[in-house]
Amino acid sequence: MGHDHHHHHSGEGHIATAFFLNLGFTIIEFIGGFLTNSVAIQSDALHDAGDTASLGLAWYFQRLSKKGGNSKYTFGYKRFNTLGAITTGVILVVGSIYILTEAIPRIFSPEETHVEGMMGLAILGVIVNGIAVWRMRKGGKSLNEEMISWHLLEDVLGWVAVLIGSIVMYFFELPWIDPLLSILITIFILRGVLKNLWKASQIILQASPADIDVEKVKEVLEKIKGVDNAHHLHLWTLDGEANMLSAHIVTDGNQKVVELKNIKKAIYESIGDHFHIDHITLEFETEGECGEDSTFCK
């Protein structure tokens, strides 16, 4: 059996900075949304609260994911990032549904809002969330970080929309614009969240990474000198970033140990780097070793 590792690192500091920026602004936003009576701001505050939870979980899980394997988690703690992404996604979906139930009735019975306050919060929101996005974009690319990064970017776009809406309401008596913006922002958020939840579910269900063609991997393996056949290929990802492969490699049975070592090295070089596979486990067998009634190779 052989194995190989490639390690990915991401910036804990970027997540920490984004967390504290988001936490502080979320508190300001909840207070401002209440004082201005803006459901759009209140909806974004709830979304920001979800983002703050995401950042907190990401920060914690980022530290946790650095732990190596042990007797309980033999592959290490990387999948805790995916757990964080799922938890955050569920929080945001529930929150978004709640906001829709609040905002839709206001379309038909709009309430007055404090437009100047909305405008000030929107400007502050664009600045704070813009800094957080910039910091997160410099970090890693795990699914949890990707979800957070997109959420923060959506925050920026949401605040731009609130700013435009508050400017329009400053000059025109159109209070229904506020709940309409809330609905549009929430739908936009839901779309991104559900997309990332689907990705997370594929990881948990151990689906093959979307960017790796299993048949192509098999084709490359069988072109390597000394490999007669490759089967029982299992390809999955721990967190959307660290990819794993196990395979049975059939040889003619005449290779010496040093020759098998060369075959393993060729596989690591051909498969590991080209397909971005971090951990490869191989089992060598000879032609006819695994019959139809054999359980050894299944």
Task: Specify the pLDDT at position 10.
Answer: 46
Tokens of residue 138, six digits? 């410099």
Task: Specify the pLDDT at position 296.
Answer: 52
Confidence grade of residue 40 (pLDDT, cut at 50, 70, 90): low
Helix 12-36 with 39-64: angle, nearest 10 deg: 160
Q: What is the pLDDT of residues 183-201, one digit of tens each?
A: 887 888 788 888 888 988 9
Task: Specify the pLDDT at position 142.
Answer: 65
The residue among 156 and 212 whose pLDDT is bigger is 212
Tokens of residue 230, six digits? 């490759």
Q: What is the pLDDT of residues 202-259, one digit of tens each?
A: 999 989 988 899 999 999 999 888 888 898 899 999 888 789 999 998 888 776 777 8
* pLDDT greater than 60 at residue 3: no
Report angle CA 149, 79, 139 to the nearest 5 degrees: 30
Task: Specify the pLDDT at position 52.
Answer: 80
Contact indicator for 230, 270 with CB cutoff of 8 Å: no
Q: Which domains does the chain have, with CATH numbers?
A: 12-204 (1.20.1510.10), 214-286 (3.30.70.1350)
Task: Specify the pLDDT at position 176.
Answer: 81
Single pTM value for the model? 0.69
